[in-house]
Every structure is written in C-alpha cells, then in structure tokens.
Structure 1
Amino acid sequence: MKKIALITGATRGIGKAVAFTLGKAGYTIMLNGILQEEGEETVKELAAQGIESELYICDITDENAVNAMVKEIGEKHGHIDTVINNAGGLGGRQTFEEMTTDFYRRVMALNLDSTLFVTRAAIPYLKKSENYPSIVNYTSIAAYNGGGPGAGIYASAKGAVLTMTRAMAKELIKSGIRVNAISPGTIDTAFHSATNREIMETWKSGIAIGRFGTPEETADVVEYLVSNKSAYLVGEVIQINGGQAFI
C-alpha cells in the first residue's frame, strides 16, 4: 500500500523541501498550492528524483474547496497517511490600531482556519491508514514572543494553532492518529522576502547558532515526526530556531 502524504503550500519554501524529504522516504506526495505553473514545475522536479506526486490547486482558506480536494485524494487512494499543514503566512503587516477587519480575518483564515479545514476533512481517511497516521501542524516562534512589528495577528493565529494542536492530539490519539507541531524560527525562505536583506542579517545576532535555518533542516524534523521513530510523541511542539528563543 502506498504511503500518502498531503502537504499544503508545498510548491515553495519549507513545504517544497518537505515534499522532497518525504518523497525520498517513500511517500507519494499530494502537492497542494495555488499557482498552477509553480505546482507543475515542482511535480517535474520531484519526478526527476523518482518521486511520485500529484498536484491539487486549491485555496486552503476555502472550506468547500478543501473538502473537495481531500475527498478526491481520499477516494482515489483509499487512505491518507500523513497531513502536513504547512500553508500559512504573515499576509502583510498591520498594527492593531490600524488593523482592518478584512486583514484580521484573512490572516486568521490563512493560518488557523486552513489547519482546521484540512485536518477535519482528512480525519476519515487518516483513520484508514495502516502506516502510523499522523498530522504535523505549524506554529511559530511568533506564538511565543508575540511576533515582530505589525505581525501581532499572525502571532495570535499561530498561538491558536499551538493550542489546537494539543486539543487535536488528545482527541485523535484515540483513533491512533498522532498530532504534533513544529515551531520554526527564522528560516531562510521567500517568507521573509518582504524584509530588507540587510535588516534580516542583523537578526542573526539574536540567534545562538549565528545563522538562519534552512527549509531542509525543517523538513528533516517533519520527517521524524511522521515516522515511527517518534511514536511516543503526542501533542508535542518542536522548536526549530537555532537557539533564537534563548537570547
């Protein structure tokens, strides 16, 4: 039976690195993204390394679209073995004083609603897995420190994901589904593309290891969490920040 991994936001950044890492670990990858051309290029890159994948273009903030996508995957393959709720983002920066309700709802939808929508739809198919089914959610160092300037609502959303992870873990372990999370610090991806590079470089002084993390280092932790090597981890949050939280 093929091992099926659904990864949201998997056509760039950390999600793309996770797709390659899990693909090399023997998973067939269900790639989710919102850009057709970018997704098709990722499928080709995966195929060049012998990794089987399928592309599903879907806005994960759209509840009905998510339900349709997951149903299509689940009925085609009969099961889903792991869900990686990778999609998310700042959505921009606004202080609480100037924050519009539309901005607030957009950031919460991208980070929190999407985690619920994808997980909820996948649970019936995860229950059919025979390969130690698991879910990995993404919180953030921002959930602990409140985020940078204008990122307060992003931090709030990621804090909610952290709590949701632990609530899901308690509920779903009864069905044999483990739920854990990762909490990345400053990972060198396009996520920070809106930040001036010179400003970014100054952040290294606040990271004990003295450098930014890579998507591949993050993907390695995700691989561990979905493997049976982490069979006794339930509701755990692993910090991937190079000691950024210690300074």
Structure 2
Amino acid sequence: MSAQQPRVLVVEDEPAQQEILSYNLEAEGFAVSRASTGDEALLLVEEVGPDIVLLDWMLPGVSGIEVCRRLRMRSESRAIPIIMMSAKSEEVDRVRGLETGADDYVVKPYSVVELMARVRSQLRRTRPATVGERLEFEDIVLDAETHKVTRDGEAVKLGPTEFRLLSTFMEKPGRVWSREQLLDRVWGRDIYVDTRTVDVHIGRLRKALKLQGGDDPIRTVRGAGYALR
C-alpha cells in the first residue's frame, strides 16, 4: 500500500457491492481495504489507519451504527470521515446515522459516480494534498497536483519523501506529529523504517526550505516530535 494513496476501508457484507466499490475506488487511485463484518472493520481500522471509511449499516454481528459509535469513542479514530451506506431512506434513519457520528449518509441504491465525489469531498476536508489540492502556509505554497513547492515565490526542490513530509505538515499546521505517526503517514505501514530516518529527512526538508530565506518553519517539540510552527 503506497503511503501516497488515500486509504479507504470498505465495510460491506454483500460481495458484489464490495467488489464494485473496491474496483471503482482503486480505479480512482485509492488504496482499498475490505471488511465484511463489524468486528473485522474495527480491527482493520486499528491495523490500516484508513483516511476514510465507507460503512454499510446492515452488517452481520456488530451493526454499522455500532461500528460508527465505537470509532467515534476512540481518540485515534474519532476524526476519520465515515460515509454511512444504507437502504434505510427515512429521514429518521438519516438523522440517526448522522447523530451517531457519520459525516455523510448515502441511500442504496446509489450512484457510484456520486459516491466517489462524496469520498473526494470528505478527503478534501481532511487530507487535501491526497486529492490534488493547493496548500498554503505563510510564504510556502505546495501544489499537490503538479508536485511543486515555492517559498516567497521561489521554487523549492524537494525529494519525494520530503514532499510528502511537507504535505503532512501543511495539511494540519500546528499539529505535533510523533516520529511513529510520520512513519505511518509518509512511509506507510508496510515498510520498516527506523525512526531516526525521520530525523534525517526532516533535516533535508528544513535545509531546502531555508535555502529560500526566512525562519525555519518546522519546530522540534522535545519528547513529542515535529510540527509546522
């Protein structure tokens, strides 16, 4: 699974629906994980750390509503966007799904094209760089679509890893990222990299940004990690 690809967890117990969703998401460039039960979904959220969850309401065992409720109770999954999918079309059901913590509610049968648009909309809010958005922080501009970075109007030359690091920082300025969190977000969970490697690439990113003048925008938080200002 590429660290660059947005990670989507599809939770759907109907094999045909699961296959259609996964096929279309992968065609759009997403890295897809699949679950057929609520229990499996809860485990995969911990293992994969998805950027978004497509969650069917009617699941064997633990229901989609209960999965949603539990994910919202956990600090590590509280902010993950959840799109609830259900054949329940009554207003009371929509309200229940949203009040339980879903960010969006899609009624079956749904348009796959519309669902893909809703996925991109949620990711634009939480992971803008992964859907080609332009990010700005003070005098730094990152164009995720063209993979170009400028500082005070001057081009900044970055390697792929430094670009992903900067994207991560610019998506959430001020947030402190631990080395382990950066390894997961930038390198991916399937690759073993020593945490000291993070320090090396942070150093390279700092050097590239400081070549264009100005203060170092990345601060080291002793005992915690790194943050953008």
| TM-score normalized by the length of structure 1 | 0.29
* Structure richer in helix, relative to its length: 1
Q: Which has the larger radius of gyration?
A: 2
- Relative contact order: is structure 1 or structure 2 higher (C-alpha 8 Å, sep ≥ 6)? 1
* Structure richer in strand, relative to its length: 2
